[in-house]
């Protein structure tokens, strides 16, 4: 395949669903070979097969993101199948609700294991190989919740804030190897995780979920939630030559969610482009 990323190889954690899948598809469309990681092996292999059917090179691998064996195996797969690894997109994550009292120690540990330790493990095993690439890049999927927060998302917000700090630290450390490290902070994105969250805030019907997603969309200046493809395109940009001098940055892909104050002026009609 031809494209800005032709000849490069990417590992995408959480690549079988949501933003991760959007990233895998966007990178493949730019010519990259992709290793699609997912919790479920069959699902990861199915997504990889669908990407390969479009003409790209793709392979799937499964296993828990917070397991060192899983991440070591994913990097070994890149080395054995392609002989290189140029990009890592750390996208796997979970959402749990609660404040400091209602969040149980087990829930806190679960979120930190997946959302923070999972990123560390992916970077730990991937970076030695990425450092050999002349165009190494790492993109961490954080969240606007790392900048500002809703109520009842303590563990998720803490984890995403940690990812912003990890991005800065790794960007400084990896600059010596020519590896760029950035994060993105999406707003609401139409993913299975967001739909599951919406179902918790309504009667659980398809109509109820669509209503909640539409309501959440109005909080964004653009008047809607994002698609995984739109966030994937931003990830592909950060991996590509157009971002060659960008490292240690966080790109807010949030449709203006964090740009607009919550309280409109009295009588000021909000207009939407949706």
User: How far from 102 is each of 35, 116, 202, 212, 251, CA to CA, in Å?
Assistant: 37, 21, 20, 24, 32
- Rounded to two decimals, the pTM is 0.93
pLDDT band at residue 179 under the 50/70/90 scheme: very high
The pLDDT assigned to 77 comes to: 98
Tell me 123's DSSP state: H
Question: What's 43's domain CATH number?
Answer: 3.40.50.720
> Tell me: the pLDDT tens digits for 93-113?
999 999 999 999 999 999 999
> Tell me: the pLDDT tens digits for 34-67?
999 999 999 999 999 999 999 999 999 999 999 9
Overall domain count for the chain: 1
Taking residues 205-219, what's their average pLDDT? 93
Exposure string over 37-66, b if 16+ CB within 10 A, otherwise e: bbbeeebbbebbebbbeeebbbbbbbbebb
Question: For residue 274, is pLDDT > 90?
Answer: no
CA neighbor of 183 nearest in space, from 271, 243, 94: 243
Question: For residue 168, is pLDDT > 50?
Answer: yes
Q: Is residue 78, in this structure, part of any structural domain at all?
A: yes
Where in the sequence numbering do the catalytic residues fall? Answer: 156
> Tell me: the pLDDT tens digits for 69-82?
999 999 999 999 99
Q: Is residue 82, in this structure, part of any structural domain at all?
A: yes
Q: Which domain holds residue 75?
A: 9-189+226-253
């Amino acid at each position: 395949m031809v494209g800005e990323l032709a000849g490069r190889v990417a590992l995408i954690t959480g690549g079988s669903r949501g933003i991760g899948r959007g990233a895998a598809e966007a990178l493949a469309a730019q010519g990259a070979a992709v290793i699609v990681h997912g919790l479920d092996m069959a699902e990861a292999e199915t997504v990889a097969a669908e990407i390969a059917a479009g003409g790209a090179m793709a392979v799937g691998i499964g296993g828990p993101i917070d397991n060192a064996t899983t991440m070591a195996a994913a990097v070994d797969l890149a080395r054995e199948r392609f002989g290189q690894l140029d990009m890592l997109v750390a996208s796997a994550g979970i959402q749990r609700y609660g404040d400091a009292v209602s969040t149980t120690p087990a829930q806190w540990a679960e979120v930190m294991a997946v959302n923070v330790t999972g990123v560390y493990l992916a970077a730990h095993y991937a970076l030695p190989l990425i450092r050999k690439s002349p165009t190494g890049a790492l993109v961490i999927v954080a969240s606007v919740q790392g900048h500002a927060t809703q109520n009842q998302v303590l563990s998720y917000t803490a984890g995403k804030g940690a990812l912003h700090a990890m991005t800065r630290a790794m960007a400084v450390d990896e600059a010596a190897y020519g590896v760029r490290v950035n994060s993105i902070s999406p707003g609401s994105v139409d993913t299975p995780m967001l739909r599951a969250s919406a179902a918790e805030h309504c009667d659980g019907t398809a109509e109820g979920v669509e209503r909640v997603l539409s309501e959440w969309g109005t909080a964004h200046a653009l008047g809607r939630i994002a698609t995984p493809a739109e966030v994937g395109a931003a990830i592909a940009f950060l991996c590509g030559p157009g971002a060659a001098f960008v490292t240690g940055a966080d790109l807010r892909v949030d449709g203006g969610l964090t740009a607009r104050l919550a309280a409109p002026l009295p009588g000021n009609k909000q207009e939407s482009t949706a």
